Structure 1
């Protein structure tokens, strides 16, 4: 399927469009010629978050709407007349979920309820709901397929399990055409300092010592461009309503490996240490994530095409060019 042709002039809404993955997805849709509405969280600032990195012509081509995903009337008004809804709006920082768990329930679960209820009422043709590999918790099988048990090892992951089940229930109860995509750890340009890869890069540029959380946890890292291509396929592929689909590489490495790899690509030598403030509670830490992406290959004809080093180089270039926006001396939760 030619995805650019599929999305050309199609009316598409992206919630959470100002975020990391959301801005890349919005950009890809705008480049394909879609009629894109970008929902961002209202604030008094005129800035559009990561959408500010889009070229002026692309920014001028999208309709930016500011509001709150927790407001059902606002969500319904914004969903009206849309053909496809990509729902990415969420609170995603795990450490902050220990501080403000109720906020995660309101934004992630109630926000998802608002989206699928609006889609049900208004007859949207496809909702692509965003999950996360964190819902699986520490892997209890060699690789994680979509049938792996869900484990709420943090308030964040519990809220995303709840959101996934809301989307699933609307598919089963009302035939709402929802598809759930479950990205494993995504990285790339525009990612905030709350994630470990931009944290490593920004510290390597400005500090003598790299301070991280757990160094031995295993992560399956997917470049953001590949994640976006999976989202686009999930929005266009017919006959997959009700499915949940992993988006991951199927390879896993410890955090320390990525740190050493980044320092090598940057041609710098820095000490890497654990910072106790960055360590999750023992029973909450997810020790190993490695995806089985066979379902994505089968249903979406999707496989990641960007090598880790290629993706890391692009991320390093972005952080270097925007180092002023990274507070490498602080622990960003």
Structure 2
């Protein structure tokens, strides 16, 4: 029989897995809702609304105290916040031109490439090859009879640039996490991104006042795509190892494709579904076969 301590730990891990999957799902649902608001606000207006409203929500929950920021911390906060702004801006610019599943898969290649760079193991070369194969299947031209026509090149570039922003976010966010508690770091980063994206927000204010229901929907996007995922991620990280987190995050490209199919009726061809699957499999394989580092 299992001990009460092990049973409690198992329940905590199951709860953490549910939180992480809930956070990923919430982000994807928020993205589908945001895409439905593009005709009114446009992708740049939508990203301004989402990030700025999310910053207000986070600031209302976690308020940084005086003396939190020093010159050294500001130097790190600026690229961290800028990476949040670039990720969100480029993601929405790509989303108006490409299916959600393709955007998420292309963006996901950024952190996945970061994980594979510098590795000398032959198995990691296999995962890198799987990523290349996935990109080829996603980006190869297709006729209208197969499903989607050739992908918009500007949208592809924006999705890949969002992936580059994700890389900077990981590198700077790791250091931010050593300087601040996770909620404070997230709040500061989102607030910095909101300041950068203010030019995207200001033109939408008259539209929000004229269409309050759609403005409320934009607030829902901020909650679903930022506030809820961040809170659930924090809850999950308390009880899951980095390895388990990596495996679960590998589901994101597939969940993006499924969300686009279910909520936006974006039907990908079989080859592009295979491309998404290759990138998700490469991420999961890289985590499962990676060297285990001792916990300190």
TM-score, with length taken from structure 1: 0.26
Which is helix-richer, 1 or 2? 2
Report the structure, 1 or 2, having the larger strand content: 1
Q: Which has the higher contact order (CA 8 A, sep 6+)?
A: 2
User: TM-score, length-normalised on structure 2?
Assistant: 0.28
